[in-house]
Structure 1
Amino acid sequence: MLAIILKGALIGAGATILMDIWAFLYAVAVKENSPNWAPIGRWFRHLGKGKVFHTDIGLAEPYDHELVLGWIGHYAVGIIYGIAFVLMMGEGWLDMPRFLPAWIFGLVTVAFGWFLLQPGLGIGWAASKTPNPNKVRLLNLIGHTVFGFGLYGTALLIA
């Protein structure tokens, strides 16, 4: 069981790394800023204090190390997703990874962002309070598709 959990952690970390590479390349290609993990770090900090939903995370009490906490939280969630996915799929999938289940799982994980994180940050359900919610939603779906590719690709590398 420990071996499966460790492989799941590696797969989740690998998928998160691929997602970050994609986000960086996208930001360079369209000349936009890369994702800022500081607001997510602030959200994680307040989550630990029992506050889940904010009207505007920018108005919440700041934290000196929120950028670092945001990155740690980002990777922790990716690793947890990897472990959960591998535990759901079992050793058979680890022995012979298949893309479709990884892609579906990656797409399903976007729901946590749309219905927990984004409202928690104060940007609405599925980014409904942002200037261009459909763009955010599309980028979320693409990013989580890349995460699914990362689950599959990392599993192939360690199989």
Structure 2
Amino acid sequence: MDTIHTAIENGKRMLIFSQFTSMHELIATKLEDAGISYFYLHGQTPSQERVEMSERFNQGENSVFLISLKAGGTGLNLTGADTVILYDLWWNPAVEDQAAGRAHRFGQKNTVHVIRMITEGTIEEKIYELQQKKRKLIDQVIQPGETMLSSLSEDDIRELLSV
């Protein structure tokens, strides 16, 4: 809540992702207690309502948008946000990147800040460390601007195909 209050005081608009609907319910209660209006999108939200909430958020309504990590993975353009909070981590960093990508869309005029909430000394911290190892490995194989295939030598391809 400190992060949310500070962000709102500084004119930030945020997407808060969690993989747990029960966590969103806890956050929603805290937001309501603080008098903060929000949108909430989860797996059961109908398509038309998803679009309507997205448009309203992008037009400036509400500073907070709670989104289920899986439900927010496709089809959303939320350029009205400049802050993405990943409340809990997902094993696959690509899922998190896709979620953060909801704000990194064509038409985005603001710098987007991504905040990962990690509790020290927990499995979340270990997940994050594993994710960083995965990212480092991928970065070693694929350089910026390359696709995986263009970064492979002929020998690499032959080895992959066992030719």
TM-score (norm 2): 0.28
Decide which structure has greater strand share. Answer: 2
Q: Which has the higher contact order (CA 8 A, sep 6+)?
A: 1
Decide which structure has greater helix share. Answer: 1
Q: Which has the larger radius of gyration?
A: 2
TM-score (norm 1): 0.28
